Chains A and B, each alone.
Chain A
Amino acid sequence: MTDIMQVNGLTFFHSDTKRWLKKPEIFQLGPIDLSVKRGETIAIIGENRAGKSLLAKLLVGAIPASKGEIELNNHKYLAKYNKQDTQQKRTHDIRMILQHSSESMNPAVPVGKILDEPLRLNTELSEAERKPLIEEMLTKVGLLREHYYFYRHMLSDGQQQRVALARAIMLKPKVLVADEPFAALDPTIRSQTVNLILQLQQELGLAFIFISHNLGIVRHIADRIIVMENGNIVEEGKTETIFRWPQHATTKKLVLAYQSLVPQHTIR
Chain B
Amino acid sequence: MPMLDIKNLTLEMVSGDTSIKALDKVNLSVSSGEIRALVGESGSGKSLIVSAICGALPPQWQLTADRMSWNGENLLGLSNQQRREVMRREIAVVFQNPQASLDPSATLGEQLEESIPDEFVRGRWFWQRAQHRKKIAISTVHKVGIKHHRHYLSAYPHQIPSDIGQKFMIAMALVSQPSLLIADDPTRGMEPTTKTQILKLFTRLNQTRSLSILFVSHDLLAIASMSHSMTVLYAGQTVESGKMKHLKKRPLHPYTKALLDSAPSFRKDLAPKSLLPTLEGSIPTLQHLPIGCRLGPRCPRAQRPCVVTPEVRRIHDHTYSCHFPLHMEKL
Please give, as numbers and ranges, the residues of chain A lying within 8 Å of B283 by CB-CB distance: 156-157, 186, 188-189
CB of B195 within 8 A of CB of A257, answer: yes
Q: A68-76, A78-86, A217-225: which lies at the B interface?
A: A217-225
B276 touches A191 (CB 8 A): yes
A48 to chain B: closest CB distance in Å? 6
Q: Which residues of B contact A262 (CB under 8 A)?
A: 221, 225, 265-266
Q: Does A32 contact B (CB under 8 A)?
A: no
**Contact count A vs B, C-beta below 8 Å:** 109
Interface residue B193 (Cβ < 8 Å from any Cβ of A)? yes
Tell me which residues across on chain A come within 8 A of B273, comparing CB atoms.
41, 198, 220-221
Query: Looking at the complex, which one of A192, A216, A265, A268 makes contact with B221 (CB distance below 8 Å)?
Result: A216
Q: Give the chain A neighbours of B264 by CB distance below 8 A.
A: 216-217, 219-220
Determine if B272 and A157 form an interchain contact, defined as CB atoms under 8 angstroms apart: no
Q: Which residues of A contact B275 (CB under 8 A)?
A: 195, 198-199
Q: Is the CB of A254 within 8 A of B192?
A: yes
Closest chain-B Cβ to A109's Cβ sits at a distance in Å of 22
Q: Cβ of A213 < 8 Å from any Cβ of B?
A: yes
Residues of A within 8 A of B282 (CB): 156-159, 189
Q: Tell whether, in the assembled complex, residue A188 and residue B258 are in contact, meaning their CB atoms are under 8 Å apart.
A: yes
Cα-based distance from A260 to B192 in the complex (angstroms)? 10
A177-224 contacts to B (CB < 8 Å): 183, 186-192, 194-195, 198-199, 213, 215-217, 219-221
Most buried by A among B192, B225, B273, B276: B192
Instruction: List residues 80-118 of chain B with CB under 8 A from any CB of chain A.
Output: none
A263-B189 contact given A187-B220, A188-B258, CB 8 Å threshold: no
Q: Which residues of B contact A186 (CB under 8 A)?
A: 41-42, 218, 283
A258 at the interface (CB under 8 A from B): yes
A263 touches which one: B192, B266, B272 (CB < 8 A)?
A: B266
B191 and A266 contact, CB distance less than 8 A? no
A187 with B265: CB separation less than 8 A: no
A66 contacts chain B at the CB level, 8 A cutoff: no
The docked-state distance in angstroms from the alpha carbon of A215 to that of B195 is 12
A188 in contact with B193 (CB, 8 Å)? no
Residues of B contacting A: mostly:
loop
Are A47 and B191 within 8 A (Cβ)? Answer: yes
B175-218, CB under 8 A of A: which get 1 and which 0?
Answer: 00000000000000111110110010000000000000000001
Asked whether, in the complex, the Cβ of B276 is within 8 Å of the Cβ of A260, the reply is no
Are A265's CB and B268's CB within 8 A? Answer: yes
- List of A residues within 8 angstroms of B261 by Cβ: 191
Q: How far is the CA of A47 from the CA of B191 in the complex (A)?
A: 6
Is B20 part of the binding interface, using a Cβ–Cβ cutoff of 8 Å? no
Chain A residues with Cβ below 8 Å from B266 are 262-263, 266
Given A195-B276, A265-B268, answer yes or no on A187-B199 (Cβ-Cβ < 8 Å): no
Report if B262 contacts A (CB, 8 A).
yes
State how many angstroms separate the Cβ of A256 from the closest Cβ of chain B. 8
Q: Which of B198-257 contact A (CB under 8 A)?
A: 199, 218, 220-222, 224-225, 248
Selected contact of B263 from candidates A46, A159, A216, CB within 8 Å: A216
The answer to whether residues A261 and B196 also contact, given A187-B220, A194-B276, A220-B272 and a CB cut-off of 8 A, is: yes
Residues of B136-181 whose CB lies within 8 A of A = 161, 163
Judged by a CB distance under 8 angstroms, whether A14 is at the interface is: no
Residues in B neighbouring A257, C-beta threshold 8 A: 192-193, 195-196
B285 at the interface (CB under 8 A from A): yes
* Contact (A191, B222) CB under 8 Å given A183-B189, A257-B195: no
Cβ of A239 under 8 Å from chain B: yes
Complex alpha-carbon distance, A91 and B69, angstroms: 60
> Which residue of B has the minimal Cβ distance to A156?
B282
Judge whether A213 and B192 touch: CB under 8 Å. yes
| Given A48-B163, A220-B273, A257-B196, A190 contacting B190 (CB threshold 8 A) | no
A-B pairs with beta carbons under 8 Å apart, 5 shown = A156-B282, A191-B276, A192-B278, A263-B224, A263-B266
Closest 3 pairs (CB-CB, A-B): A216-B265, A186-B41, A187-B262
